Structure 1
Amino acid sequence: MKSLAVRIATALLAAWYALCRLLPVRDQIVCISRQSDQEPVDFRMIRAYFQREWPGWRVVVLANTLKSPLSYLPVMMRQVFYIATSPAVVLDSYCIVVSLLGERIKAPVVQIWHALGNMKKFGYTALDTEEGHSAETAALMHMHEGYDAVAVSSLTFAEDLAAGFNVEPSIVFEAPLPRVDLLLDKGNRAAQRAAVEQACPSLMGKKVIVYCPTFRKAEPANEKEAMAALLNAIDFSRYALVYKPHPVSTQVIDDPRAIRIEDPAIDPLYRADYVISDYSTVMYEAGLLGIPVFLYAYDWDDYHGKRAFNIDLERDVPALFTADAREIMAAIEEGGFDHGAFDAFVARNIALPENETCTAHLCRRIMDLASGRE
């Protein structure tokens, strides 16, 4: 039944695409995201760059989470319309329409993904694991098919990314996400820091710890105990804890001592004195900001059996890796974080362009594809 439904949906999308192809192709780039219902920061920066450098072109951003198949149908129809009438398509996540239409799409499709660097196995390298999809579902949905170019923060991960998307390594190119420019911009840092303090005046006068865990499909058995241990290890007369969940996470820390900033335009990372994460690529963002990182691996014994990694977190990441929250707070108190080693680790995995911004570097590649120069 599911297979029949997918075939029918594919036929309808293909017919709608063929009809839309009768319309003129416009000077526009369509950017599609399933990560949130708000315009992703990377797409916002791409749009602003095109407006400034190529004012005759426009960038259309379609950002919609999948809440139900029925409500997502008009979203997919709109995606097809813009895919058919644009000379280039940019994705930051899996797109059902692109995968089902595949080679029918005439415009080049660029996958920039939504995470800096790459650590965890995903896509085709995580099939039939608890944190991945089944091989049956991947085949049925033609998962990650239809890409013409794939951006990666560093060619260090080129083969890992190619394997995850099941594409030829030759289409992978080095281009960190535009948001890196914001992390490196001193003016943006100051503005964001001020915005965080205005949103949370209680942070004033305290060292701020930002907790940024990775996304998990299922709640770990020891999650509540681990969160209680972390909160109980913190001296809240001297420190404040801000919880920054993964964009698609449903985890809730039900404790008034854990502060959460609801405004998606305000990033608490800019106010952090310390970052506690686990298996998340947010560690790269923290590294670019020069913030000490500590890895709270309270469910490691269970998680690494569900999800394989492209790097050895315990050996390759020069940061404390522990299941003991008290050990993390002791390390914070001692101030022994090795910034030089961590900076070198980040530099290996986020390859900054030499003579231009990350946004300019990526946008030029997109424009070259849209203009048929590649």
Structure 2
Amino acid sequence: MGLKKIVLNIILSFVNIFVSLIPIKKNQIAFVSLEDNVLRDDFLDIYNHLDASHYSIKKVLIHYDKKSVWNDFLYLLNCIKQIIVINTSHIVLINDNNYVVSHYKRQGVKVIEVWHATGAIKKFGNAIKRQYPINNYDYVIANSDYWVEPYSLAFSVDKNNVLVTGMPRVDHLFDETYKEEAKKNFYLKYPKLKNKKILLYAPTFRGNIYKGFKAVDFDSKKLMSLLDEDTVLLYKYHPLMHNIPIEENERILNMNHENTYDLFIVSDALISDFSSIIFDYSILDKPLYFYVPDLKEYMRHLGCFVDYKKEMPGPLCYNEDELVDAIHSNKHYDIKAFKNKFFKYQDGKNVERIISFIEQLIKED
């Protein structure tokens, strides 16, 4: 254990002694995240559907970027706030791996993991080697029965506590009004992209928070030189890759600042790899292309929760030439069958099921 972790544990243990004297507030619900400074996606949908008059809502939010002493200090302060809020709340919602919950969660506090992805191609959590084991999560939200076993392993929860309610965020992709409004607003902002064939390139990161993040090699200029002039490529990197430069031109555009689902809606096809967004995108029944030049290495070092070669509903491409050939061939894949396997509910009412569970949990305890 490094010096920083030793100092963190000493401080948190000391704070926790005093927090343990404060009673848990039955109607207090906390949102805790290291991913953003504001509520977004699933958290925002759940928050908007909670009756604020019935609950005391607490938020502990920070965008943690482990790259400086100052950020480490802010993280320490955030952990102190976390331990106070988490251990005095009846219900705690998290959307990433949480150190405080894993080490200091108090009996009587119920933690619901609303994982920040709709599925998991690549292995994560306790299924891989990590700095500390994940513990003390009570429930995990999932989209289909397929995820019960992987999530039980990754988060160390009982299989019965993997709740197949569906993720709130995907409700939007079943909402025709939402999709029409998103399309309208996008083209008002980018009128030059109207009537273009839009390819969305949205890969996941390589590496980790401790060793740093990088992107897989991808020659977007070569790709575009081999495609029709009316085709444009939009980049949407994983948030952890925001510092990786993108060479833009008239046909290659950086869209990291735009909403991912809005880009889904206006795009004609998705190019991705091991990112969980392929599950979300399958809802729209549009072509998917998998650019995976490092597939063998990836499988050897990290591994997947799905049979990648068997399950992916699109061509696996190992270089730009193969990707171009796949786009030109436009071969049909059964994307609907893929969607039906990984989304139990397609009624746009996932958030209602989660709210119902939270209300039930508060009444029972």
SS in 1 for 2:271: strand
Partner of 1:130: none
Conserved? CA contact 1:242–1:259, under 8 Å: yes
TM-score, length-scaled by structure 2: 0.88
Deviations 1:161-189, CA, capped at 9 Å, x for gaps:
11112232232121221011011111111
- Cα deviation, residue 333, structure 1: 3.2
CA apart distance, 1:6: 4.5
Match for residue 10 of structure 1? Answer: 12
Counterparts in 2 of 1:34-113, with a 5 A limit? Answer: 34-51=34-51, 55-67=53-65, 68-102=71-105, 104-113=106-115
Provide the residue aligned with 1:352 in structure 2.
Answer: 345
Over 3 Å counting, the alpha-carbon distance change for 1:148 and 1:264 in structure 2 is: same
Please tell me whether the aligned partners of residues 43 and 61 of structure 1 are also in contact (alpha carbons under 8 angstroms).
no
- Residue 240 (structure 1) aligns with: 232
- What amino acid is aligned across from residue 294 of structure 1 in structure 2? Y
Q: Which amino acid aligns with 2:103?
A: L
Aligned 1:202-213 pairs, distance under 5 A: 202-213=192-203
1:264, 1:85 → 2: CA distance? 36
Q: Secondary structure at the match of 1:124?
A: helix
CA deviation profile, 1:75-134 (whole Å, cap 9, x unmatched): 2232233223322001111122212213x242211112111122211111111xxxxx2x
1:361 paired with 2:353, answer yes
Gaps of 5+ in 2: 66-70
1:166 and 1:84, CA in 2 relative to 1: closer, same or farther beyond 3 A? closer
Counterpart CA distance in 2 for 1:320 and 1:165 is 31
* Partner residue, 2:68: none
- The answer to whether the aligner puts 1:152 opposite 2:152 as a matched pair is no
Flag the 1:213–1:265 CA change in 2: closer, same or farther, 3 A.
closer
Tell me, yes or no, if structure 1 residue 114 matches structure 2 residue 107: no
Kept in 1: contact 2:205–2:213 (CA 8 A): no
Moved more, 27-36 or 342-351: 27-36
Give the conservation status (yes or no) of the 8 Å contact 1:88–1:109. yes
Displacement, 1:260? 2.0
Is 1:255 matched with 2:253? no
What amino acid is aligned across from residue 352 of structure 1 in structure 2? Y
Check conservation: 2:205, 2:214, Cα contact below 8 A.
no
Q: Which amino acid aligns with 1:365?
A: F
Q: CA deviation at 1:228?
A: 4.4
Correspondence 1:323 to 2:318: yes
How many positions carry a matched residue from both structures?
351
Matched, 1:29 2:24: no
Q: Please give the alpha-carbon distance, in whole angstroms, between the structure 2 residues aligned to 1:309 and 1:48.
A: 34
Structure 1: 5+ residue runs without aligned partners?
Answer: 128-132
RMSD: 2.4
Q: Given the superposition, is the C-alpha separation of residues 234 and 161 from structure 1 closer, same or farther in structure 2, using an over 3 Å criterion?
A: same
The percentage of aligned residue pairs carrying the same residue is: 23
Residue 298 of structure 1 is matched in structure 2 by: 293
Stretch deviating more after TM superposition (223-232 or 283-292): 223-232
CA–CA distance in structure 2, aligned partners of residues 272 and 369 of structure 1: 40
